[in-house]
């Protein structure tokens, strides 16, 4: 459907400064793709700076029947912010205000374009943090975190955005303002639309403000590097750690391929026989840390253990995390197009799952590299493929089908934090049954009767 950009711009610029409306193809290009490398040009890009401008943009596009794709910083990896049907990319990146830090009530009100790191920095000034901490937190926005319910390592103990957001202000497809949730830690008046919007990937409404629940910074954090001679020992240790009372602050997992990458790309000293690593942090009152660490060490010890090192200095700890955080970009450099999955399995199923992945790698002759948030059973399964090798790409799709089928058999989920977007829309039926999926689509219909809001995402192509 061709968009009359002249009419669009004329209508938009009655309330949005013309300088914040792009229509030139070259100007719009950076807003045609996200980290998934899917791409489609928008007809226009609009930079909103206020709730009222979001309302105006949405109601204008509703009248003109033009799709609107909300976008934060474009760090998503499932194509969630790619405007596959053209229309307007509504960029929230200039809505960067931290509206209030309310220490007494332990919450913070922010606009959606605020970077995750800015939230962390501001909260830390007052002795708090906001638990969601994607690896991309230096460059990703809170709005994007909410859209995909994106978390990170700390989710194992402190939860995802759904457990750490009290309320939202949002705008529906036809430009109406919603206020969901509460400003308090309890409230059961009406249906929970806050959590419904969180993780809805911009398909129900555009979030223009969020009230984030803050958590006190732990007094102390200890960091352990635990090496194993094989991946099964590491996976089994994860189950044991999660079955005892001390919940780690973070519990990350890296397989042998990851360790090889680290050997090549960092100065971290890793013994040759190490084939898997757990990176574990434990937090709490300083006085309680030794016994907590001891409990974790005990649970982590099994026949495959090579050794446990306690990172003694901030520099040592930073080096470990640096190695972990650069894995995704490093992998992307070496593989022309890696397929980056973020499946979840129940923690107790991690060992058999990892075992089976090795067999799939063998069967389909695909290099599979695994790391991720082991405490949640959230594994980043990376299939290293060459998009120019058609035969290999076909094998990788077969392999993916096997992986997803297995994940569901084991009681898991296809995505822990990336979402569905374009990448998994054809697989959603593996996890969600037809009755439930139909209800989700009926809910979508209520928020967005013309199907203009981030169209063509999440649900299977018809």
What residues between 350 and 389 interact with its own copies by CB under 8 A?
373, 376-378
Task: Based on the shown chain and the rule CB under 8 A, indicate whether residue 106 belongs to the binding site for its own copies.
Answer: yes
Task: Based on the shown chain and the rule CB under 8 A, indicate whether residue 191 belongs to the binding site for its own copies.
Answer: yes
Euclidean distance between CA atoms 131 and 133, whole angstroms: 6
Binding mask 313-332 for its own copies (x = CB under 8 A): --------------------
Stretch that binds its own copies, among 24-32, 47-55, 242-250, 359-367 (CB under 8 A): 242-250
Considering CB under 8 A, how many residues would be counted as binding its own copies? 93
When binding is defined by CB under 8 A, the residue of 45, 345, 366, 423 that contacts its own copies is 345
Task: Based on the shown chain and the rule CB under 8 A, indicate whether residue 195 belongs to the binding site for its own copies.
Answer: yes
Hey, which residues between 404 and 433 contact its own copies (CB under 8 A)?
Answer: 411-420, 424, 428, 431-433
When binding is defined by CB under 8 A, the residue of 162, 229, 450, 451 that contacts its own copies is 162
Q: Find where tokens 């139909």 sit.
A: 438
Task: Based on the shown chain and the rule CB under 8 A, indicate whether residue 216 belongs to the binding site for its own copies.
Answer: yes
Count of beta carbons in the 10 Å neighbourhood of residue 240: 16
Task: Based on the shown chain and the rule CB under 8 A, indicate whether residue 155 belongs to the binding site for its own copies.
Answer: yes
Binding mask 1-20 for its own copies (x = CB under 8 A): --------------------
Stretch that binds its own copies, among 55-63, 134-142, 316-324, 436-444 (CB under 8 A): 436-444
360 or 427: whose CB is closer to its own copies?
Answer: 427
Hey, which residues between 58 and 87 contact its own copies (CB under 8 A)?
Answer: none
When binding is defined by CB under 8 A, the residue of 23, 111, 165, 200 that contacts its own copies is 200
Task: Based on the shown chain and the rule CB under 8 A, indicate whether residue 460 belongs to the binding site for its own copies.
Answer: no
């Amino acid at each position: 459907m061709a968009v009359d950009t002249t009419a669009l711009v004329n209508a938009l610029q009655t309330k949005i400064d013309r300088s914040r409306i792009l229509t030139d193809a070259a100007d719009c290009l950076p807003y045609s793709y996200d980290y998934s490398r899917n791409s489609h040009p928008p007809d226009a890009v609009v930079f909103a700076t206020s709730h009222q401008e979001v309302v105006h943009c949405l109601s204008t596009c509703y009248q003109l029947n033009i799709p609107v794709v909300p976008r934060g910083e474009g760090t998503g990896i499932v194509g969630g912010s790619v405007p596959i049907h053209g229309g307007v990319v509504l960029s929230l990146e200039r809505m960067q205000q931290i509206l209030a830090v309310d220490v007494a009530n332990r919450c913070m009100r922010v606009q959606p374009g605020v970077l995750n790191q800015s939230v962390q920095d501001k909260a830390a000034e007052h002795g708090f943090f906001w638990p969601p901490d994607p690896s991309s937190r230096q460059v990703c926005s809170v709005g994007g975190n909410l859209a995909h319910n994106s978390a990170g390592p700390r989710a194992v103990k402190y939860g995802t955005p759904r457990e750490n957001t009290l309320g939202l202000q949002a705008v529906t497809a036809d430009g109406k303002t919603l206020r969901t949730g509460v400003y308090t830690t309890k409230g059961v008046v009406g249906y929970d639309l806050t959590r419904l919007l969180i993780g809805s990937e911009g398909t129900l409404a555009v979030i223009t403000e969020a009230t984030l629940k803050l958590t006190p910074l732990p007094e102390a954090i200890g960091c352990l590097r635990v090496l194993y001679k094989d991946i099964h020992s590491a996976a089994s240790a994860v189950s044991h750690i999660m079955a005892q009372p001390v919940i780690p602050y973070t519990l990350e997992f890296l397989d042998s391929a990851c360790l090889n990458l680290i050997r090549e790309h960092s100065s971290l000293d890793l013994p040759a026989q190490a084939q898997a690593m757990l990176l574990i942090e434990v937090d709490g009152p300083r006085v309680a840390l030794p016994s907590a660490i001891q409990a974790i060490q005990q649970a982590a010890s099994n026949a495959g253990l090579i050794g446990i090192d306690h990172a003694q200095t901030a520099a040592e700890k930073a080096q470990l995390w640096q190695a972990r955080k650069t894995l995704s970009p490093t992998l992307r450099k070496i593989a022309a197009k890696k397929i980056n999955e973020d499946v979840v399995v129940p923690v107790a199923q991690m060992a058999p799952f990892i075992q089976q992945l090795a067999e799939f790698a063998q069967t389909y002759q695909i290099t599979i590299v695994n790391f991720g948030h082991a405490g949640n059973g959230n594994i980043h399964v990376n299939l290293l493929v060459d998009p120019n090798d058609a035969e290999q790409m076909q094998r990788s799709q077969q392999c993916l089908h096997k992986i997803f089928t297995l994940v569901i058999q084991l009681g898991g989920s296809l995505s822990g934090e990336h979402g569905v977007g374009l990448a998994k829309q054809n697989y959603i039926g593996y996890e969600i049954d037809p009755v439930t999926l139909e209800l989700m689509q009926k809910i979508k219909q209520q928020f967005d009767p013309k199907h203009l809001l981030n169209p063509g995402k999440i649900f299977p192509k018809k």
